[in-house]
Structure 1
Amino acid sequence: MSELETLHYTGIEMSADGGSRFVDDRIELGVRPVAVGVDPMAVGELGSGAVAFVRSGGFDAVPHPAPARQWVVMVRGTIEVTTTDGETRRFAPGDMLLAADVEGLGHSTVAVGEPPFEALFIPAPENR
């Protein structure tokens, strides 16, 4: 597996004496498309079956609707999103974006700066 296809993380678990300890572990990411018109990205489920971690070495997509109504929480890197009305905004680590344009012409997304781009995709309810 390449570094692009592995998510390393630190866990805390109970130790044999009833205390706690750190454990280094990883989640293997599978490369797959995340939306029509977007190059495949490394994706890993985080155990809930709904929240996904995504990583891409680059991101330069043609206009596309969101694959589902979802929050995009930026973890690493910066993306630039342009809507069909011509407005462009940048999103960096810690920023949240609600992608709710699941129909129509959609938006375009470009990675800005050094790769990789990393984000959490979290399903969003209709009432948000």
Structure 2
Amino acid sequence: MKYTRIYADGNGESHFEDVEISMKPGPANAGTISETIAAKGVMFRQSREYFINWHNAPHRQFVVNLTGTVEIVASDGEKRRLGPGSILLAEDLTGKGHTSRGLGGEERISLFIPLAD
């Protein structure tokens, strides 16, 4: 299992990284499970087509796409389209940031999960 991470390097440039989640056997043969990652809460978001120009993540947070597609552009120029079931760890709190655009005209439902410090 993987998630996509966006982060800022020492020069303030944002980049993507694919991160493999370490999994272990779950209880009662119910698949596999990761270690707990402490979070502060959860926010629900509904949106359609939109564009948010260069910005930083407000805090470290997972963004889980349930429906719809978003295109995110890192300041290094790399573009990623994240669809249903994708998970993004937004950690580019400083630097040039990224843009995000809702695509396809369909409703995008996502969860924002701010992480504990």
TM over 0.5: yes
1:119 maps to what in 2?
110
The C-alpha deviation readout for 1:12-38, integer Å capped at 9, x for no partner, is xxxxxxxxxxxxxxxxxxxxxxxxxxx
TM-score, length basis structure 1: 0.57
Taking every aligned residue pair, what percent have the same amino acid on both sides?
41
Q: Which deviates the most, 49-58 or 99-108?
A: 49-58
Task: Normalising by structure 2, report the TM-score.
Answer: 0.62
What is the correspondence of 1:39-118 to structure 2 with a 5 Å cutoff?
A: 50-118=41-109
Aligned equivalents of 1:122 and 1:49: distance in 2? 7
- Any stretches of 5+ residues in structure 2 without a counterpart? 1-38
- Bigger RCO (CA 8 Å, 6+ sep): 2
CA RMSD of aligned residues (A): 1.8
Whether the aligned pair in 2 keeps the contact of 1:64 and 1:106 (CA below 8 Å) is yes
Please tell me whether Structure 1 or Structure 2 has the larger radius of gyration of its CA atoms.
1
- Structure 1 ranges of 4+ moved more than 6 A: none
- The Cα shift of 1:104 comes to 1.6
Q: CA deviation at 1:124?
A: 2.5
Post-superposition shift, 1:77?
A: 0.4
Deviations 1:83-107 (A, max 9, x none): 0000001100100000001112110
Aligned residues: 79
